[in-house]
Chains A and B, each alone.
Chain A
Amino acid sequence: MKWNMSRREAAAGILFILPWVVGCSMFFVRPFFMSIYYSMTKYDVLSPPEWIGLRNYRDLFLNDPETLSSIAVTFKFALLNVPATFLTALFFSVLLNQKLKGLSLWRTLFYLPAVIPGVASAVLWRLVFAESGILNKLTGLFGAEPSHWLENTATVLPAFVIMNCFAAGTGIILYLGALQGVPTILYESATIDGAGAWTKFTRITLPMISPIVLFNVVTSLIANLQAFEQAYVLTSNTNDLPTWGGPNGATYFIFLKLYKSAFVDYQFGYAAAISWVLFAIIAVFAALILRSSKAWVYYENMKGR
């Protein structure tokens, strides 16, 4: 950093960061403000945008049951999926942390489904959920009737959750890393004090990994609120009779509604308004979790503050 300060140096530096300056202004700052404007217009791209003030937002909340139900469905999905994938990841990371032999093999096997691209995995799971698919074979072992997982409003969200639990590998590896970082001396002194396994888990393990849990829960919640791919691939149909987020709208997530408003109905102004509602929802949820985190996240280097 001690190169001689000169105009040449400044010019070179600006030249190097120029791609980002241009890219960020064109594809980030500009659209950020344009989308506020578009959300207050009626716009089909072919004719110029027509200013209509806040009407899109009013329509969205008062005149469009599709939007409201898509918000409800997205909440339902996120509230099922975030805890389920968290518990799955936590369970298997604790299991793998029991000083098992062949750890790298088990880790690889658990991580493998998470490596598979989203679309490939979703298409594959359509076969798993099929009437004579392997999931029905498995539940059949326990005497359950074969179910049409993806065609039934009651089972489709649980089916999505099961699919996502199989892809919990990233969380497993993440939590495993955190677990391995917990100092063993804490457990040793707890043992001397006569603490049982459960007490050690809830009083030592969970607090020690809570910063990583916070990070993972926030990122997965943000991702789940923007869920799109699985619903597009598995429960929508683009070919003969277009359906969106079936069955009967049970997986019609906000992002799907946003996509359809723009690229199928050509209501770009309305879609922009939906994108701001989604943005606000994400911001509120992220803020709520971060605020609540003061009560449940333990930072070791902040002790006593």
Chain B
Amino acid sequence: MAQSGIGLAASALRSGRVGPKRVAVRILLYAVTVLFSCLFIVPFLWMISASLQSDTFTLAGKWFQQFLWTNYWDALTQEDFQFLPALGNTVYYTVFGTLFFLVSSVLVAYGFSYFRFPLREKLFFFLLATMMIPTTVMFIPNYVMFANWGWTGTYWPLLIPALGGGPATVFLLRQFMLTLSVSLFESAKIDGAGSLTILWKMVLPNIKAPLILILIQQVNGHWSDFFGPLMYVGNDPLQRTISVAITIFSHVYYVQWSYVMSATFVMAVVPVALYFVSQKYLMQDFVLSSSEK
């Protein structure tokens, strides 16, 4: 239908197939696209600029006046900021939160997919129903319980619930598992393979794409999490995550923007890198959009 590209449009104009009005529209479309897509990454560039120059330039609204790469090292080792421990804590939370969540979601989905047991359909319906309910009303009682257990100030209140898996993820994995052929498993079973061997050797290799997608989503979710760590772990300089550290450090009266922006860049670069790595899975992302962390 439409011609693609200015070149094509121009040649079409020469051959007399389309009018000059149509060429003007194409040029306008490209102009608007280029303009706005550049505009969209301006804040990102502004962050990089602010992380590399001294604050005087940033606060005067000047761009890329200096390239002080040492700002990154200084931010990491800055004493009040304690960014290095925060980075370590965030990695710890991300790795174990993701691992716990993924392993248990896989096991639960496996149980719901291939095993028959009493009340299975009813339990699965209940699992789907829990997806619909916002968790807003749960977090006060959960906090109270963990506080009574003396778990506040640690990551356990965030990691232990991850061991229960997540309903949307279980649902998605089950849908993929049910597409696999059961006859393969039966013959493996006759050969004496246990359930876990079948899961590991025959099921998981066949659902790699959704697994990678969930993995990336979970890494991003834990890495970016703010509310959970703020509520449970709080603001102890040696315990907090980068999201909390950055927030607190941006709340002081004289903000040291170059350090804050260096830390912000480090925080932002992980999901951005994951995005580029995972682009081919991107379109499937939307199956999970309503997702849980």
Contacts and interface: CB of A to CB of B under 8 A. Distances in A.
B115 A13 contact: yes
Interface string B250-275: 11110001001100110110011001
A125 interface: yes
Given A117-B271, A124-B47, A219-B290, A31 B264 contact: no
Contacts of A240: 252-253
Given A9-B116, A115-B275, A1 B61 contact: no
Given A124-B43, A229-B226, A238-B251, A17 B33 contact: no
A23 B164 contact: yes
B223 interface: yes
Contacts of B18: none
Chain B interface mostly:
helix
Name the residue among B38, B44, B253 with the largest chain A CB count within 10 angstroms.
B44
A14 interface: yes
Nearest to B291: A219
Nearest to A20: B108
Nearest to B185: A3
A17 B116 CA distance: 12
Chain A interface residue bracket vs B: 35 or more
Interface stretch (B70-78, B135-143, B207-215): B135-143
Contacts of B253: 239-240
Name the residue among B140, B161, B267 with the largest chain A CB count within 10 angstroms.
B140
B275 A30 contact: no
Name the residue among B4, B138, B186 with the largest chain A CB count within 10 angstroms.
B138
A38 B243 contact: no
Interface in B134-185: 134-145, 147-148, 161, 163-165, 167, 170, 182, 185
Contacts of B226: 118-119, 229, 232-233
Chain A interface mostly:
helix
Interface of A: 1-3, 5, 9-17, 19-24, 26-28, 30-32, 34-35, 38, 43, 45, 92, 95-96, 98-101, 105-106, 108-113, 115-121, 123-128, 130, 132-134, 136-137, 166, 169-170, 173-174, 177, 184, 187-188, 215-216, 219, 222, 226, 228-229, 232-233, 236-240, 255, 258-259, 262-263, 268, 271-272, 275-276, 278-279, 282
Given A27-B164, A112-B41, 18 more contacts: A1-B182, A3-B114, A5-B116, A9-B117, A13-B120, A16-B112, A19-B164, A30-B145, A108-B279, A119-B224, A120-B268, A127-B47, A127-B58, A132-B59, A222-B134, A226-B134, A238-B235, A239-B248
Interface of B: 1-5, 29-30, 32-33, 36-38, 40-44, 46-47, 50, 58-61, 104, 107-108, 110-112, 114-118, 120, 123, 126-127, 130, 133-145, 147-148, 161, 163-165, 167, 170, 182, 185-186, 189, 195, 220, 223-224, 226-227, 230-231, 235, 243, 246-248, 250-253, 257, 260-261, 264-265, 267-268, 271-272, 275, 279, 282-283, 286, 289-290
